[in-house]
Structure 1
Amino acid sequence: MDSIIKKKIIKFDSSNIQEKEDLLSTERALAIFIQYADEIEPQQLSITMRTPGEDKALVLGFLYNEGIISQSKDVLKVNAVSPDEMVVLLSKFKPKDTVETDRNFVSSASCGVCGKSSIEDAMKVNFTPIKNDDIRIDSKIINNLFNKLGNSQSDFTKTGGIHAVGLFDLEGHLLETSEDIGRHNALDKMIGHAFINNTLPLSNNIVLLSGRIGYELVQKSLMAGVPILVAIGAPTSLSYDTSKKFNQTLIGFLKQSSFNIYCGEKRIGY
């Protein structure tokens, strides 16, 4: 299924009106089902609005960030039973304290924690503080990330309607770009690829977000062990508090010649 579709539009430009074709980012629902080893049939876990493509990585990244899987042996098989339905067969038994309604909800493209059954669920943490304090990155490397991500966004240049996440090494080399209409989906896709490639945790990497930094993005990045999280936009108060609490370096308002360090400044060389 294509991530971009063509639609006819009316373009208005001052006194000039014309009919033309425009490119739009595809948005479709993806139903995620999981089946534990002691279950007879799969159970629907979530429906998320996403850009088609990289669905396996999206689902595995989502399950990893939810703490449902933690290593490759937890997953027996991932089946695409239709273009918009994914079933994950697990090797583990269903935890006794699992609440059926915890994640049975529709997630919009802009929200990664919508539908949680309680505030406690939304604030639940399963990660440990970032420990690698010996990392030190030159500020020029951080500034150069801006153009590298922008140049790699193939769908954004065509539609202008999609988010991106870039995975970099500590020398600023771009390793991977994931795109989706949902910023949380783009991060799930990137982490899902790392899960598939057995490269988690991402303890020697920098992650760059194309938009703002909300709490759910900090939460997912900490689950993956990311020491330095950077964004083109601003962090929220809760994302700042969470990054600081767990010893993560948080950078926002990245431009070609400037950025703001909100916490974890010891990892950045001036």
Structure 2
Amino acid sequence: MGRITARRPVTRLTLGEPPNTRVDTLAVEEPLEIRIAGRPLTVTMRTPGHDVELAAGFLVSEAVISRGDQFRTAIHCGGPGAGGEENTYNVLDVALAAGVAPPSTDIARAFYTTSSCGMCGKASIEAVETVSVYDVASDAATVAAERLVTFPDRLRAEQAVFDKTGGLHAAALFDAATGELLVSREDVGRHNAVDKVIGWAVLHDRLPLRGTVLQVSGRASFELVQKATMAGVPMLAAVSAPSSLAVELAQSAGLTLVGFLRGTSMNIYTRADRITQEPAHALAKDDRYVTR
């Protein structure tokens, strides 16, 4: 695996004080080329680590796969300029299960996806409106509000790399009924962090993610709502604002969308019936990862 952080010199300047030079810790951002059976599909800028999960989650978002058994293997291979001899960990070749159709060229991302916006490299705007195979609207899961308000702090407590760099987004998956933290991931791109969480579910054959809450550290964009819907997640909560298009998609899909989840308050934009004010049952004894 490549480096997650890097050390670089920085000059610290405070008005009225002399400059101070020191070494700062930065979050690493590197390209990952995802291939399907040797054929390039996309390049995304990401924080190295959990690359197989990232690829698996990306393929769910693009409607290429929808079950764990459709993702067979993935292997890092030599990167550009390495002559195929040196493993740069920046090229990942995925093998799909027999009978799974490879991505069609009309949804392939022609150049690259930036870490700030997963939609920037879409080949066409029509490809954004991917239809999920899961009926999110029918999910009867609910979550107690007093449990939901604990999720942002619990996600923040898992952000080890953010503590060092202050430069990463994060996403976590919680069990709505018990409050158990199933998995959390960090990445320089918010969409990548979500893809890694969904990819974890793919590799553990847990799709659809019924009865769960996807908690994100930033805002709720259209793409994050789409990714949640594609994975069968019924509830998405963000500490910041949603976009208008995110709310429209959540309403259409029947997904519960929560924004400005801070302290003891929140804004519920869609499907408020899933958020209850009944006292939450005792949290599970171990609210840590089920996997590292």
TM-score normalised by the shorter chain: which range applies? over 0.9
1:130 matched residue in structure 2:
136
TM-score normalised to structure 2 length: 0.86
1:20 aligns with 2:22: yes
Task: State the distance in 2 between where 1:98 and 1:138 align.
Answer: 41
Residue 73 of structure 1 aligns to which amino acid in structure 2?
D
1:144 aligns with 2:187: no
1:3 matched residue in structure 2:
4
Contact preservation (8 Å) 1:65, 1:224:
yes
Compared with structure 1, are the counterparts of its residues 199 and 72 closer, same or farther at alpha carbon in structure 2 (3 Å cutoff)?
closer
Residue 114 of structure 1 aligns to which amino acid in structure 2?
C
Runs of 5+ unmatched residues, structure 2: 78-86, 278-292
1:261 aligns with 2:268: yes
Residue 175 of structure 2 aligns to which amino acid in structure 1?
D
1:93, distance to aligned residue in structure 2 (A): 5.3
Deviation string, structure 1 residues 83-104 (Cα, Å, up to 9, x no partner): 1000012234575992267323
Computed over aligned residues only, the root mean square deviation of the Cα atoms, in angstroms, reads: 1.8
1:53-64 paired onto structure 2 within 5 Å: 53-64=49-60
1:182-261 paired onto structure 2 within 5 Å: 182-261=189-268
Residue 27 of structure 2 aligns to which amino acid in structure 1?
S
1:79 matched residue in structure 2:
75
DSSP 3-state at the match of 2:150: helix
Task: State the distance in 2 between where 1:267 and 1:138 align.
Answer: 8
Of 24-33 and 118-127, deviating more is: 118-127
1:141-180 paired onto structure 2 within 5 Å: 141-170=147-176, 171-180=178-187
TM-score normalised to structure 1 length: 0.92
Contact preservation (8 Å) 1:62, 1:188:
yes
Compared with structure 1, are the counterparts of its residues 98 and 218 closer, same or farther at alpha carbon in structure 2 (3 Å cutoff)?
same
1:45-60 paired onto structure 2 within 5 Å: 45-60=41-56
Identical columns (%): 36
Contact preservation (8 Å) 1:127, 1:222:
no
Task: State the distance in 1 between where 2:26 and 2:253 align.
Answer: 38
Contact preservation (8 Å) 2:142, 2:211:
no
1:39 matched residue in structure 2:
none
1:158, distance to aligned residue in structure 2 (A): 1.0
Task: State the distance in 1 between where 2:172 and 2:46 align.
Answer: 18
Runs of 5+ unmatched residues, structure 1: 36-41
Compared with structure 1, are the counterparts of its residues 232 and 12 closer, same or farther at alpha carbon in structure 2 (3 Å cutoff)?
same
1:102-141 paired onto structure 2 within 5 Å: 102-141=108-147
